Structure 1
Amino acid sequence: MLSASPLPDYLVNRYYGWKATTYAKNESWYQHLAEMGQHPRAMVVSCCDSRVHVSSIFGADQGEFFIHRNVANLVPPYTPDGETHGTSASVEYAVTVLKVAHLIVLGHSNCGGVKGCYDMCSGDAPDLSRSSSFVGRWMELLRSRFDALPEGSEDSRLRELEHQAVLTSLRNLVTFPFVREAMEAGRLTLHGLWNDIGAGSLSCYDPQTREFSPI
């Protein structure tokens, strides 16, 4: 028997509020989306963190972004080994079926996944080091970047590791043949962003300066 419960009242009430306001005012647009399908111009790989709201940051409407969220906004390297790869499947669908023009990796400040990786690699998170930890095994994607961190305060090293999570994903994206093909044909561009949650600021990676610069 499946284990599932009714929605809590506060979510039910929020749904009714949305249906009576936002949906009611834009019903024809929702009907258009349902009938014509999705045609997003960009895919965004962002963190699961509840404080990072991609649509709000860019003032986007429904249908504008194809969004995939995971812990620490990581994209694994291309490994066609037959295993289950939710992130890789999302990238494949966005590039080969939806044919998005832009693929954005969005990192952020105070990332719990990155902090977990930092603690695990420092030997301070034994639970994540266990082979049974899904989070720990996922964050192994970033271990080599931890090993290359410069000296400094923990805060500065954590911020650098957050930046490296974005850059790791960008490097791994170009290992996918269909991503490279789309880039070489001029149909796809990659972008690396980092959001400071508290300041509400957004920085973009510049490959010329090799730094994240404020937008």
Structure 2
Amino acid sequence: MRPTRPLPGSLVQRYHGWKATTFADNAAWYRRLGAEGQRPRVMVISCCDSRVHVTSIFGAEQGEFFIHRNIANLVPPYEPDGLRHGTSAAIEYAVTSLRVSQIMVLGHSQCGGVEACDKMCMGHAPALEAQDSFVGRWMDMLRPGWEAVQTIEDDAERREALEKQAVLTSIDNLMTFPFVRAAVDAGDLVLHALWNDIVDGTLEGHDAVTDRFSQI
């Protein structure tokens, strides 16, 4: 027997509240989404962190964004090895089937995954070094980024710099996907590197000319 349980009453109540208000007020739009399918123009790759709410930040409605979330908003390099690659599958579907015109990689402040990587790289998280640590092996992707900022002595400053390195690592890895590079080179796809401060709401974007993040 599968170990599933009914939803707690508090969540059931919140669902019925949404169905009676937000859904009811926009029923025609939901019917259209169901009948016509999704046509998002933007893919967002963001962190699983519960404090990061992409649709709220941009005021997006249902159907506008194709969203993929994972630990530390990381994109692995292109590896067609026959194994299971959830992030790569989402990117392939967004670019080749949905034909999105923009991909946003959104990092954020106080990222737990980035903090874990920082501790692991400093030798302070032996549990993450274990081969059976999914988080540790996932965050291995960011080790080169850590090496670029490891000389920053202040922990908070180093981790913020590493959060931005995570975004840039994802952008670099996106360009290893042949269909992403082809779309970018053809002018059909634009990549955006973003970082959000969850405390003050600041949003920063990366400028390829200056190679810096600046406030939007």
TM-score, shorter chain, exceeding 0.5: yes
TM-score w.r.t. the length of structure 1 is: 0.99
Cα deviation per residue 1:85-104 (whole Å; 9 max; x = unaligned)?
00000000000000000000
Task: Give 2:108's aligned amino acid.
Answer: H
- 1:130 deviates by 0.6
CA shift digits 1:58-82 (9 cap, x unpaired): 0000000000000000000000000
User: In structure 1, the residue corresponding to 2:156 is in which secondary structure?
Assistant: helix
Match for residue 177 of structure 1? 178
Aligned pair 1:191/2:178, yes or no? no
CA RMSD of aligned residues (A): 0.6
- After TM superposition, the structure 1 = structure 2 runs for residues 144-155 of structure 1, keeping only pairs within 5 Å, are 144-149=144-149, 150-155=151-156
Between the aligned partners of 1:22 and 1:151, the Cα distance in structure 2 is: 47
Q: Which residue of 2 aligns with 1:118?
A: 118
- Count of matched residue pairs: 215
Matches within 5 A, 1:46-125: 46-125=46-125
1:139 equivalent in structure 2: 139
Runs of 4+ in 1 over 2 A off after TM superposition: none
Aligned residue type for 1:196: D
- Alpha-carbon offset, residue 200 of structure 1: 0.5
Percent identity, aligned pairs only, is: 61
Partner of 2:6: 6
The one-letter amino acid paired with 1:36 is E
Shift of 1:184: 1.2
Report the Cα distance in structure 2 between the residues aligned to 1:147 and 1:205, rounded to whole angstroms: 20
The residue correspondences of 1:20-35 to structure 2 (distance < 5 A) are 20-35=20-35
CA distance in 1, matches of 2:152, 2:57: 32
Query: Normalising to structure 2: TM-score of the pair?
Result: 0.98
CA distances 1:184-205 after superposition (whole Å, capped 9, x unpaired) = 1111000000000001110000
Q: CA deviation at 1:147?
A: 1.5
What are the Cα deviations for residues 120-175 of structure 1, in whole angstroms up to 9, with x where unaligned?
A: 11111111111110000000000111122133311111000000000000000000
Give the structure 2 partner of residue 41 of structure 1. 41
Structure 1 counterpart SS, 2:195: strand
Distance 2:116 2:18 in 1: 36
